[in-house]
Amino acid sequence: MSLSLIKQYVHLWKKNWPKKNAISFKQAAVKYNSHLTKLENTWRWHDYVSHGQELGIDWEKCQKQNLSKLKIIAGAEDILKFCRQKGYKNILATNAVKKVIQLRVEHADLQKLFDLVIASSDAGALKSEGKHFKLGFNKFGSSSDCSYSVGDNPVQDIRPALRLGLKTIFCESGRYLTHYHSEHISGNYKEKIEPDFKIKTLSEINKIIQE
C-alpha cells in the first residue's frame, strides 16, 4: 500500500472521529497518533479493523473508498502465472490483517493466482519474525531449500527467509513504490542484508527460477 493511501486513512479517521465524539480535530489527531505510537513495531500497527473499532470508525468503508488507489507492480501477474506453471505454490505473506488484505486481493482480482494468503493476524506477528514462512511450510509440507522469498524490505522479507534457509530475491525498486521502508514497521529497516539475488524488475525472476 502506498504512503498516500496511509495518509488518506489517517485523514478520514481524523475527519470523521471528531464529529462522532464531539471533540476537536486536534484532539482527535492526538488520540489517533497516540493509539498508533503504542503499536509501532508490532503487527497490530497494521490492524485497521481494530483501529476502526477503537476509534469508532467504519474501517471497511475507509478501505473501500481507497481501493482504486492500489496499483499492481508491473510484471506481478505474469510472474505469478509463470511460477504456477513451474509447479511452485504462490503464497502472499503480508503484514496486513486478513480482512483488509482480502479486500485488496479481490479488488485487484489476484485471488486466483495465490494458493494461500498468510496475514499478520494469522501469524500473530510481523513477517520479520518468520512465522509466516513456517505457516506456509506447514500448509504444503514444503521445505525451505526449494522455496523462494521475494520482497522489497530487507528486514521483513529477506532476513527471516535467510534465517530459515529459503532462497531470497530482493526487489530493489520496491523502496520507491511502497511505504514499506519506514520506522513504524522496524527501526532497522535500512539494515543491509545480502540476499541470494537482487532484481530491479519482477520479470527477472523468470531467469532465476529456471536456473
* DSSP letter for each residue of 170-203: EEGGGGGT-S-SSTTT-TTTT-----SEEESSGG
Structure confidence at residue 25 as a pLDDT band (50, 70, 90): low
Give residue-wise pLDDT tens across range 149-173. 999 888 889 999 999 999 999 998 7
- Model confidence at 147: pLDDT above 90: yes
Q: Same domain for 153 and 206?
A: yes
Give φ, ψ of 144 to 5 degrees.
-70, -30
91: which residues sit within 8 A by CB, 6+ positions away? 114, 115, 116, 117, 118, 136
Q: For the full predicted model, state whether its pTM sits above 0.75.
A: yes
Task: Say what the pLDDT of residue 141 is.
Answer: 92
Q: Same domain for 109 and 194?
A: yes
Q: Same domain for 10 and 101?
A: no
- Tell which of 40, 69, 98 closes a domain: 69
Domain that holds residue 63: 3-69
Q: Same domain for 82 and 117?
A: yes
Number of domains in the chain: 2
Q: Same domain for 113 and 176?
A: yes
**For range 122-138, the mean pLDDT:** 96
